[in-house]
Structure 1
Amino acid sequence: MDKVRLHLCGPGCDSQCDRKQQAAQAVARRDRSFPVVDTHCHVLVPAVEKLVAGHPLKIAEDQANLKASGDASVQFNREQMLPAVVPRLLDPEVRIADMDAMGVDIQLLSPAPSQYYYWADEDLAARIVAVQNDAIQQLCLQYPQRFVGLGAIALQHPQLAVAQLEHAVLELGLKGVEISTHVGNLELGDERLQPFWARAEALGALVFIHPFGSQVGERLASWYLSNLVGQPLETTLALSQLMFSGTLDRYPQLRILAAHGGGYLPFYCGRSDHAAKVRPEVQGARLLPSQYLRNLWFDSLVFSPQAVRQLIDQVGIGQVVLGTDYPFDMGAYDLHWLVEQVPGLDASQRQQLLSGNALQLLGLDAEAFLPALAADPLNPQEES
């Protein structure tokens, strides 16, 4: 299988494309004195699909997602995107080859969002999460210098979710969990979810917020707007709910990582700040939204050096980590080129983005990963 595309051009890109060459050259000249960490990488667990196969609510969810995506996107995904992506979701050797091509040493593995299955009853949800988390733990144990993991939880059953979080972190050794931007009609700041947030804070567990679908509905069914607009919009809504509900006030030590650069909020939070000053119904939070942003973490998946610069200016250099959305086609894999091109960064700040911020967030020791960096896997002849 071909290695992952390092640049942003489409399938018809010329082999001599400047961007393609620039991305490859950036990987070749990377600094190998520290490990590069990608915090936004998904894993599909086939055994979960066996548990939900034929379930009426699974069928209903699939139909609703297909309707919201639009015929053109559904056809493209079936015929082109999924055949390229599924092997990468399943085969760790293919994944590692792609990581080497990208110049990534460590992936933070998280469940494929399509496997949240928040419609499941408590018994089925317990089995789904157990299978997912065990599979991710096994990958991390099999490749300890390449993978660390996040688990799943059944957030639709808050008491069960707390127990699953504890098991994932305390017994399986996972770094935290991935959750969606809402749980059915339940927003993340809802009172019923407060025990989960309290326990996540107490454990120091990372909570990766990643959307799956959008509640906007069929307005986004054309032109892949369900993903282009719907995904960042969902993250914007989720973070806003956590801020204005007081959840971030009650649990100020939460370790939250927001996918896709945090959606639109970091780039337009001045409007939310203004509302917090002039609108009485949004004045319950202790801080301005822009101040909360500096206590959260955000991946770099905003597609341009200028946007990364703007994100850094808004949230702080220490709050941004690399994220590719591996292995999906809406991911961006030219990490080294991207970081090189961000305006105004010195060498120390580039290292923060590539490595230091994520290592600190995940509680990883860089020294444990340095032996694997001694040789360049793309140029084995350079070993000596």
Structure 2
Amino acid sequence: MPVIDVHAHILPSLYLEAMRRAGLCDRAGNPVGDGFPFPTWSLDDTLRIMDRYAIRASVLSITAPGAQFERGADAVALTRALNDAMAEIVRAYPQRFAALGVLPLSNIDASLQEIERTLDQLKFDGVGLFSNADGAYLGDKRFAPLFEELDRRRAVVFVHPAQPPSFERFSIGLPSPILEYPFDSTRMLASLLYSGALARYTNIKLIVPHGGGTVPYLAARIARSASAVFQTGPRTPPDEAMQLLRSVYYDLTAMSEVGNLALLREFVPADRLLVGYDYPFRPESTIASQRSALDGFEGFTDEQKAIIRSGNALRLFPRLAQ
């Protein structure tokens, strides 16, 4: 059955060249982001894979590190160029693609301007953020103006994990996407919960990839801590905290094991789950196994599988239903 993939990336040449100029590459000049070698990408390959695996539409975003390796005007210019590249693809294939605008998160004023440009002028379908920026997590008060504006707009917000601060001290020699991306998504959600942002900005439709990282496994522990005596932010009763964690949308990127799906089924209802394949960072060979895992999972009814494959995404991205 056709699916809508909410987790798809583009790697335009302008992005790769900017990374090379910043020294984010190996000795051969191949771009490396957060310690992970970037794969090759082309729009033609994306369309071929979409057709082969019955992907009705893909929601495009920019993976980490985004423009966070740039500073000042260079960061603003790179984010604008990346958004223009996504807009060009959506204009050429409006029924096949949606887009999530990337922001220069180190510059709040410029980020607010780019929210306006991408959502109002470029007609993007939402915004993409990263789990942390300059070592600050999204619950930090510096990001409040962004969340206030996104909440006012009732925006879809996709939060991709990023390399955590001081990662080199505990990397154990692995690139951060291998172990730390799931944990950084968990830190991000805990930051939003403990700061009160998750309860305050309820109009935002938040998507967390990779099955929420470790959140489904640690949810009860995270929720109990929301009312602990050491909590410096607003205290939230555990039951309310758990409901807030369950109000978020989670994509199924890398959820190709029965145990992953069973844990998610127990944690959130089917109407909070979305399909994500993370191409090209997860290779084409992983799409079939992830798809088979959902198709064969007996914990969801056929109706629930249908809303996971596309129904939930069409509610979040109604333009794709037109």
- Does residue 273 of structure 2 align to residue 320 of structure 1? yes
Partner of 1:152: 102
- Does residue 53 of structure 2 align to residue 102 of structure 1? yes
Paired residues for 1:23-62 under 5 Å: 30=1, 35-51=2-18, 54=21, 58-59=22-23
Q: Is the 8 A contact 1:300 1:323 kept in 2?
A: yes
- Does residue 251 of structure 2 align to residue 296 of structure 1? no
* Structure with the larger helix share: 1
For residues 285 and 308 of structure 1, the distance between their equivalents in structure 2, rounded to whole angstroms, comes to: 31
Q: Percent identity?
A: 23
Residues 322 and 194 of structure 1: is their aligned pair in 2 closer, same or farther, counting only changes over 3 Å? same
Partner of 2:64: 113
For residues 60 and 318 of structure 2, the distance between their equivalents in structure 1, rounded to whole angstroms, comes to: 15
Residues 268 and 53 of structure 1: is their aligned pair in 2 closer, same or farther, counting only changes over 3 Å? closer
TM (normalized to structure 1)?
A: 0.75
Paired residues for 1:144-183 under 5 Å: 144-183=94-133
Size of the aligned set, in residue pairs, is 312
SS in 1 for 2:188: helix
SS in 2 for 1:166: helix
What one-letter code is carried by the residue in structure 2 that aligns with 1:36?
V
Paired residues for 1:197-216 under 5 Å: 197-215=147-165, 216=167
What one-letter code is carried by the residue in structure 2 that aligns with 1:340?
D
Residues 67 and 122 of structure 1: is their aligned pair in 2 closer, same or farther, counting only changes over 3 Å? closer
Partner of 2:196: 246
Q: Is the 8 A contact 2:9 2:63 kept in 1?
A: yes
- Quote the offset at 1:50 in angstroms: 4.1
Q: Is the 8 A contact 1:168 1:174 kept in 2?
A: yes
Residues 315 and 266 of structure 1: is their aligned pair in 2 closer, same or farther, counting only changes over 3 Å? same
SS in 1 for 2:152: helix
Of the three residues 291, 307, 311, the one matched with 2:260 is 307
Over the aligned positions, Cα root-mean-square deviation in angstroms equals: 2.4
* Unmatched segments (≥5 aa) in structure 1: 1-29, 369-384
Residues 285 and 322 of structure 1: is their aligned pair in 2 closer, same or farther, counting only changes over 3 Å? farther
SS in 1 for 2:170: helix
For residues 130 and 299 of structure 2, the distance between their equivalents in structure 1, rounded to whole angstroms, comes to: 34
What one-letter code is carried by the residue in structure 2 that aligns with 1:156?
S
Partner of 2:215: 265
* Structure with the larger strand share: 2
Q: Deviation per CA, 1:135-167: give whole Å up to 9, x if none.
A: 101101111121111111111101110110111
- Quote the offset at 1:268 in angstroms: 1.5
What one-letter code is carried by the residue in structure 2 that aligns with 1:351?
A
